[in-house]
């Protein structure tokens, strides 16, 4: 019981320190928090969703990409967080005569101005950080913009309803990125579960001795592969997928 109390006490003290830092240095605190969220989100994506690992002998596509993590951390902490901080503050100043009208106007402003902007900002920023030229960056934006926008709306649209209706302005960015991190973790869990099912189905197929058993094992494989494709569609893939889950983008 004392151990449980100690853990709760540590969390309470950490949260209080965070609140003090947020009150005294709001921008710097959000930049550090956002950078940390991007580190966590990309690590979950690379290791859990994409199946990468720290192994120099593995194929390049299966190795952890630390440069990608650094790029995303720089984007999340230095580029995205300051802009999001000022944007959220500006949207909070929208106040109409009715509470419902205020909420709907804030949501519309977010979806029609901020989200399209960030869907352009992210691939542009990452493209230049990757050393791409202007034409290559344009192609990157064109390829990623619409799928990023639609995926973000499906998750962060409902989140923003809660955010603008109930959450204090200083905690809104944290909520958005917390939801994104949970999305990363959920997709990672789903992906690992599907991989386990596929391995079991492959084993059943190898051990099957009758036509009926083989057909049943093949059906298990087809179902597992279908589920994996659904997960890949939800995850968005690579850096863009991470940014979609951690930004209102």
Residue 57: inside a domain: yes
Residue 4's pLDDT is 63
Question: Coil, strand, or helix at residue 53?
Answer: strand
CB 140 within 8 A of CB 127: yes
Residue 249's pLDDT is 42
Q: Which of 81, 69, 64, 63 is CA-nearest to residue 27?
A: 81
Residue 17: inside a domain: no
- This prediction has a pTM of 0.76
Greater model confidence, 245 or 134: 134
Residue with tokens 């503050």: 89
| % of residues, the chain, pLDDT over 70 | 82
Residue 162's pLDDT is 93
Structural domain range at position 200: 27-246
CB 163 within 8 A of CB 175: yes
Residue 52: inside a domain: yes
Residue 22: inside a domain: no
Mean pLDDT within 21-41: 93
Residue 96 has a CB neighbour count (10 Å cut-off) of 12
Rounded to whole angstroms, the Cα distance separating 6 from 13 reads 10
Please say if the pLDDT value at position 178 is more than 60: yes
* Sign of the C-alpha dihedral computed for residues 92, 248, 178 and 230 taken in this order: positive
Q: What share of the chain is helix, strand, coil (3-state, %, to 5)?
A: 85, 0, 15
Spell out the residues 6+ positions from residue 105 whose beta carbon is closer than 8 angstroms to its own: 94, 96
Residue 94's pLDDT is 96
Greater model confidence, 223 or 39: 39
Residue with tokens 């710097």: 28
Residue 6: inside a domain: no
Question: Coil, strand, or helix at residue 244?
Answer: helix
Question: Coil, strand, or helix at residue 63?
Answer: strand
Backbone angles phi, psi at 16, to 5 degrees: -65, -40
Spell out the residues 6+ positions from residue 73 whose beta carbon is closer than 8 angstroms to its own: 35, 38, 39, 42
The CA-atom distances, in angstroms, between 242 and each of 40, 215, 248 are: 10, 38, 11
Residue 216: inside a domain: yes
Residue 191's pLDDT is 61
Mean pLDDT within 10-37: 94
Average pLDDT, the chain: 83
Residue 152's pLDDT is 80
Please say if the pLDDT value at position 8 is more than 90: no
Q: Which of 116, 231, 133, 112 is CA-nearest to residue 183?
A: 231
Tens-digit pLDDT profile for residues 200-247 = 777 777 777 777 777 777 777 677 666 656 655 554 555 556 655 665
CB 73 within 8 A of CB 35: yes
Residue 4: inside a domain: no
Rounded to whole angstroms, the Cα distance separating 99 from 103 reads 6
Residue 15: inside a domain: no
Rounded to whole angstroms, the Cα distance separating 93 from 68 reads 36
- The total of structural domains in the chain comes to 1
Q: Which of 33-37, 124-128, 169-173, 220-224 has the lowest mean pLDDT?
A: 220-224
């Amino acid at each position: 019981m004392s151990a449980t109390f100690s853990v709760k006490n540590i969390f309470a003290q950490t949260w209080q320190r965070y609140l003090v830092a947020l009150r005294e240095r709001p921008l710097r605190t959000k930049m550090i928090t956002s950078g940390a969220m991007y580190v966590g989100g990309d690590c979950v994506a690379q290791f859990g969703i994409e199946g990468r690992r720290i192994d120099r002998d593995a194929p390049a596509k299966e190795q952890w990409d630390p440069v990608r993590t650094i790029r995303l951390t720089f984007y999340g902490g230095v580029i995205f967080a300051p802009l999001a901080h000022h944007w959220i503050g500006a949207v909070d100043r929208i106040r109409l005569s009715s509470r419902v009208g205020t909420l709907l106007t804030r949501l519309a402003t977010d979806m029609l101005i901020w989200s399209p902007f960030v869907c352009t900002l992210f691939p542009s920023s990452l493209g230049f950080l990757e050393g791409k030229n202007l034409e290559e960056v344009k192609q990157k934006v064109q390829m990623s913009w619409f799928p990023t926008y639609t995926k973000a709306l499906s998750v962060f649209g409902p989140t923003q309803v809660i955010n603008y209706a109930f959450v204090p302005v200083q905690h809104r960015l944290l909520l958005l990125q917390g939801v994104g991190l949970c999305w990363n973790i959920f997709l990672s869990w789903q992906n690992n579960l599907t991989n386990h099912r596929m391995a079991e189905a492959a084993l059943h197929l190898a051990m099957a001795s009758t036509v009926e058993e083989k057909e049943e094992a093949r059906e298990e494989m087809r179902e597992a592969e279908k589920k994996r494709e659904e997960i890949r569609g939800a995850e968005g893939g690579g850096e863009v997928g991470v940014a979609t889950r951690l930004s209102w983008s």
